[in-house]
Amino acid sequence: MIIARRRDSPGENPMQKPQDDPIETPAHSGSAAGVSRRALLAGVAGLGLAPGLAGCGPTSEVASPGDRLARDVREVLDRAAQQVIEADPEAVTRLGLAGRGAPAWALTRLSSRSQAGFERTRLDRIETLQSLSSLPLAGPQSRLRAHQLAIHGAFERAVALQAYGFGRVALDSAQPYVADHLGGSYLDVPRLLLSRQPVRSPDDTDAYLQRLAALPATIRDERRRLEADAAAGAIPPRTVLSRLAAKARALADVPVEGHPLLKDLANRTVAVSGLSDEARQSTLVAASRILAGPMAGAYADLAASAGTLFESASDLPGLSAMAEGPAYFDTALRTSLLVEANPEDLIADIEVRARTAQRELGASMDALAVPDSDLQTRRAALLEAVADPELTAIGLTDALTERMDTLRPRLRQIMARLPDADAVVTLSPAALWAPYDHDDMTYEPAAADGTLSGTLRVRPGLEAFGTSALETVLYREGIPGRHLARAAAIEDTGQPMLRHFCHPTTFQDAWAAYGLDLSEELSRSDDLAGQAFRRQADLDLAVEALVDLGIHGLGWTSERALEALRTRAGMSNRASVDALWRIAVQPSRATAAVFGRSVFRALRTRAENQLGGDFDPAAFHYTLLTTGPRPFAQVQDEMEDWASAQVG
């Protein structure tokens, strides 16, 4: 397996101030070699990295003064950003870009889910990719260069996946189905309104109501696309459709007087300065009418449609049941990992990791004197051993917050300069979130404009498991995991607006997994329970990647996949079912997390070997994160160049 690399993306020393976006004048170098599959995927000591293949990206040939060309580059990127905002205004709210120059009208509209919108976006992206490919690259020491390459990679992936004509494709992620039990406008828009939509002024209140009023039509457009995709052969598995139908039906039946969105709007408008009582009451009446009429009807129609499609759907959980499913999965893998490999080869590599994690988990359980038995029983016994029957929901959030606070001072060991954006742990308000949420712990990233902190929302009821059992998720989703990566990326105030839309989830998932390694470095060596839960998380990641490859690339049945999750990872019956159907609608994501984590590990090992006692992990991670999420090949080039610069 070769990682497709561009030797036109050198990194920069994080301890030095970057240059002001000079444009490079030397010709494209075009060197070529390969990185072994085992070196990248195993991520163990002693495995090295070699230079890789040059890719076909933006040209580095230039013929005009640097300053003018840098302005030209930014103008193209700015025009493309405006196009993205027009197509996906929800992303402005989701990313918190209102205070970073995004237009105010973006807070009032919903992203198009119609077939016409899908086709228009596809053509726009093709044209933008052509423009990006013709742009000159900024100079080697410029952060603009790194942003150019990351943006180009995001558009390449989106264009490749959108060419299949089905599913939903953003610049940071893609799903093969228009709607499923985890996402789609029927869930995503209410989540957006509840967690990200600002309600601080009368104009904000109007914007909230406008988006709410637009949601029924958006759900109808999405339903039509779901039906059209199914007619063309892109139909979700039966279990996905039944779960989707159940959620939509439940949402259609929610009484208006207790509707989460109405409660949210009523609660938040109380404190809006300048909003009269009459205007507030009028807003709530309008919202009630929308929820009771068009909204309930749209949800009911979506549920009915999913029920009808159920009859012609497959029982197989993966993309292998679809005519173009295997090709789509291959493209998703190739554009996520930038490798050429088949599922069998990838499984062989990840199997090694799974067996290692299973041995280490067994050793950790032995150290805790967990009775020897099958893995599922031992995991249940481990949970029982750390359970705290006296712990309350508030006590749990307080305890998790305390653990985060304890880690923060130690982050200097792994990050040269800490981002300003904080992360808080809060209890999820069940009355508002229960209809829309599906995760035990959900990370909501900090807003780029600084208006919202990063939030780790904890579902009520988890206190029964005790604090130790949840720390692993805290480290993955909070610090030193996903929140650290997100906060570091958004605080580059000089990045082009377009770059914010091009933060691939594959990088973020990989860093969240790598956060387990960092948390172990920062935790007490005598914390045996913590070590056991980290080993358990390692095993879960590896087995989920095996299931990802199995169901989407090799035609595994649900029974085979569930057996792997239960026996290989030791997951409970409920956890294994939830994991399977999450993986079913997010093909390649679990594999990319394992792959990317191994890339980060291997690059760090190589830098340590190259620099010896001069290796500074804080500077290494700073360089890795502050350029933002980007393709793994670009990361590899930049970090290799960083290590070489330290030697020089």
| Mean pLDDT on 490-502 | 90
Share of the chain above pLDDT 70, in %: 90
Degrees to nearest 5, angle at CA 565 with 318 and 343 = 45
Q: What are phi and psi of 438, to 5 degrees?
A: -140, -5
Can you give the pLDDT at residue 10? 33
pLDDT in tens, 436-474: 887 888 899 999 988 899 999 998 888 988 899 999 999
Can you give the pLDDT at residue 523? 87
Q: Are 25 and 75 in contact (CB under 8 A)?
A: no
| Mean pLDDT on 565-589 | 97
User: Which of these ranges, 114-118, 134-138, 283-287, has the smallest mean pLDDT?
Assistant: 134-138
| Mean pLDDT on 202-225 | 98
Q: Are 466 and 388 in contact (CB under 8 A)?
A: yes
Burial class (CB in 10 A: 0-12, 13-18, 19+), 594: buried
53 pLDDT more than 60: no
Q: Which residues have CB under 8 Å from 611's CB, separation 6+?
A: 643, 646, 647
**Chain center to CA of 600:** 17
Can you give the pLDDT at residue 58? 57
Residue 61: helix, strand or coil by DSSP? Answer: coil
Can you give the pLDDT at residue 188? 96
| Mean pLDDT on 422-434 | 87
Can you give the pLDDT at residue 345? 87
Can you give the pLDDT at residue 461? 87
57 pLDDT more than 80: no
Q: For the chain, give the mean pLDDT.
A: 88
Residue 236: helix, strand or coil by DSSP? Answer: coil
618 pLDDT more than 80: yes
pLDDT range class, residue 386, cuts 50, 70, 90: very high
Can you give the pLDDT at residue 68? 77
Q: Which residues have CB under 8 Å from 337's CB, separation 6+?
A: 3, 506, 588, 591, 592, 595, 596, 632
215 pLDDT more than 60: yes
| Mean pLDDT on 125-137 | 94
| Mean pLDDT on 154-158 | 97
**pTM score, whole prediction:** 0.90
Can you give the pLDDT at residue 228? 97
49 pLDDT more than 70: no
Residue of higher predicted confidence among 55 and 165? 165
Cross-strand bridge partners of residue 456: 425, 443
pLDDT range class, residue 72, cuts 50, 70, 90: confident
